[in-house]
Structure 1
């Protein structure tokens, strides 16, 4: 990364515009979530039937939806599964099921509706899963606990490895990343599935890892340049770690973009959420975590000065 060999950017001088950009993006995302009445939860969290149907002849989503509607099944999410660079006749059907409905009856109703339109031998249900609303609710609680627990353990780890102010700054940056990611999920109406939760947890780890690399260099430079202004030391650390940050993010994005372009419909939401997370995590490690550390340091220094005078 020779282009960044002598990097000397004043990142922290741009923190005020960065605050405005972050606030605007987060506000748009939260407004989308509020207008939609929350995020769209998948059958894993609400309970329902998940079927993979393979047709012997060319079929489209509209034909399947018309067949199911004629048979009395509505609200079905239909996704065409695609092989690399070509369409297939495989479809994924996600059917929400109410608490008073029998999942086996819903599954039989779907089969009968398809047989009425396409004939019995023209398709095959190659995979079928059912999930009760009770289990879905348990998945929701588990996912929320996993996210909260990751934050707490990270704060404890950073406070032990560095000091408390580093931990607080890192958590602020990660919360920032999560809010933007949830806003993206809402704006593009991406379904919250187990794969999406896995992507969110991956983003937390990725964002924190990038921030920790920067903070580790900050700690080293604070020891070497004790008389240097705090903000100058942080800028120096950001510039020194910039090649690593760009290289790591760039290679990760290449893989994720490949998954979005040539991957199937099942993996595409996972990869899309991760792309946003990587971009936002890289941005936040420079324009959120480090500025937050400066703000915390300045407040602590002012409180110490007031305490010394009194």
Structure 2
């Protein structure tokens, strides 16, 4: 089972402890920030009004802020992009406030402005929060069932822990840095889960294939098998991550404001998913599978 070639290669299993520690630190920080500050929900998940304005001429943020300071419409945030202005109001605007806002902006800033107004009340916001959680839960359960049928329960547990880790790390980072959470963010998290599971399944499939021809006598033999399986799929995993990462970075740099947070969530998730499949899912499966190695075999001298 073992060879000098295997022993000289980088051991992913032994190197997994720092990554476990890093993930634990991020998880604890995330729990603390989520408990104290929660998430910075966008209008999709809390009541308020979103006004997106397509401009016929450039308008800088200072001009927009000056206009808003002259109108007492409550707490708001302003995002300025090329030929587009987005204003998010914490509280829903009344019909009269909305009409007055449009009339004043058209008269004072841009006569040819085109408006897109979305109002979300408290009940709809809560329903969207609930639906997002249900959607993620259904996806996780489906993955558990699929992996249990295709592989075995140990693979399923390791994969689900890995994907939940990826999702929670991204959520924690958004909570720590107070980044806005909206529907595109949920789509990014679900996409991250998909990529994470895909990478994990590729490695697990190679582990299962290698198990068919392996003669395992000691727990170390199993460690060598996992390490070899990771090496055999490493090039494919790296190429996949780099390809998607380049696209996500380009979207973040050159994309519109509406997809920047989606792109940022994807970048976070791709980094965490890249190492979790190798340094968390595989060692965790080894930990679960290693317990089934007979103790007598574990005491047997290893062959060099």
Scaled to the shorter chain, the TM-score interval is 0.7 to 0.9
Specify the alignment match of 2:230 in structure 1: 238
Find the partner of 1:139 among 121, 128, 134. 128
Question: Which residue number corresponds to residue 250 of structure 1?
Answer: 242
After superposition, the C-alpha distances for 1:66-98 in whole angstroms (9 at most, x for unaligned) are: 3223211132121112xxxxxx23201122325
Unaligned runs of 5+ in 2: 1-5, 298-304
Secondary structure of the corresponding residue to residue 181 of structure 2? coil
Task: Verify: 1:206 aligned to 2:198, yes or no.
Answer: no
How do 1:118-137 residues align onto structure 2 when only pairs under 5 Å count? 118=108, 122=111, 124-137=113-126
In structure 1, what is the Cα distance between the partners aligned to 2:91 and 2:56?
Answer: 28
1:279 aligns with one of 271, 276, 286:
271
Partner of 1:308: none
Aligned to 2:67: 67
* Distance in structure 2 (CA, Å) of the matches to 1:92 and 1:209: 36
> Any conservation in 2 of the 1:68–1:113 contact (CA below 8 Å)?
no
Q: How does 1:265-304 map to 2 (within 5 A)?
A: 265-301=257-293
> Unmatched 5+ residue regions in structure 1?
1-5, 82-87, 306-310
Per-residue Cα deviation, 1:263-304 (whole angstroms, up to 9, x for no partner): 11111110110011111101000000011111112334479x
Confirm whether residue 260 of structure 1 aligns to residue 249 of structure 2.
Answer: no
1:72 aligned counterpart, secondary structure: coil
Q: Where does residue 110 of structure 1 map in the other structure?
A: 101
Distance in 1, matches of 2:283 and 2:97, equals 54
Query: Which residue of 2 is the match for residue 152 of structure 1?
Result: 141
TM-score by length of 1: 0.85
Q: Which residue of 2 aligns with 1:78?
A: 78
2-side partners of 1:74 and 1:62: how far apart? 18
Supply the distance in 1 between the matched residues of 2:101 and 2:32 (Cα, whole angstroms): 36
> 1:192 aligns to what?
181
Give the distance between the partners of 2:25 and 2:288, measured in 1 at CA.
Answer: 23
Partner SS, residue 94 of structure 1: strand
Is structure 2 residue 83 aligned with structure 1 residue 89?
yes
Distance 1:112 1:73, change over 3 A: farther
8 Å contact 1:67–1:113 — kept in the other structure? no
Question: What is the aligned-residue RMSD (CA, Å)?
Answer: 2.4
CA offsets, 1:53-72, max 9 Å, x none? Answer: 23444422233233223211
* Counterpart-to-counterpart distance in 1, 2:184 and 2:229: 35
